């Protein structure tokens, strides 16, 4: 009986790990691809190598597009509705309450950071701030100025960067 219980536990752990890996790759199959505007910065990580830090225009949400609690707690989940405008997705509205996107719209989840009351901006973080690149190629990204990031967004909310141009 103990042996069967042991095999069940090991099997569940294995299925969990396979499920985590599969969900990452299934984003490409089931996910919708969106393009975002960004500005790159070129730092280096001693463990992972070169990467580009990305700052997105959609991380700053104007107060007139904010529809939720006016003072959410830092680190809380925020839902941001995006729509394609002139080749890149822009913020339509954002809230700490979930809503359903209509046709041609995509909803991303983010973490609320802070509210800049002077400039009437809500700052959020999408978790897409790092993109690892080939070693010694960071200068070309840093000097290129504004770039377009292609992001795949799965129906279950997971997202990943697929390309940077």
> In this structure, are residues 74 and 112 in contact, taking their beta carbons and an 8 Å threshold?
yes
Per-residue pLDDT reduced to its tens digit, 32-64? 778 877 765 545 555 556 777 788 889 999 989
Residues (pLDDT < 70) of the chain are: 39-49, 136-145
> Mind listing the pLDDT tens digit for each residue in 115-126?
888 888 999 999
Kindly state the tokens that stand for 165: 């141009």
Between CA 133 and CA 109 the distance in angstroms is 25
Tokens of 101: 């996107």
Task: Note the pLDDT of residue 28.
Answer: 79
Q: For a pLDDT cut of 90, what percent of the chain falls above it?
A: 26
């Amino acid at each position: 009986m103990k042996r069967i219980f042991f095999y069940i536990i090991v099997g569940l752990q294995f299925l969990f790990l396979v499920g985590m890996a599969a969900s990452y790759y299934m984003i490409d199959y089931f996910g919708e691809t969106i393009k975002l505007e960004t500005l790159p910065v070129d730092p280096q990580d001693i463990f992972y190598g070169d990467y580009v830090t990305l700052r997105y225009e959609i991380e700053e949400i104007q107060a007139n597009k904010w529809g939720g609690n006016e003072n959410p707690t830092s680190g809380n989940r925020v839902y941001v509705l995006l729509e394609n405008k002139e080749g890149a997705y822009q913020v339509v509205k954002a809230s700490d309450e979930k809503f359903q996107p209509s046709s041609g719209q995509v909803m991303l989840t983010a973490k609320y950071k802070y509210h800049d009351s002077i400039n009437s901006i809500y700052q959020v973080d999408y978790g897409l701030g790092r993109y690892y690149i080939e070693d010694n190629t960071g200068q070309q990204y840093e000097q290129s100025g504004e770039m377009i990031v292609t992001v795949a967004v799965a129906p279950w909310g997971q997202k990943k960067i697929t390309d940077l141009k």
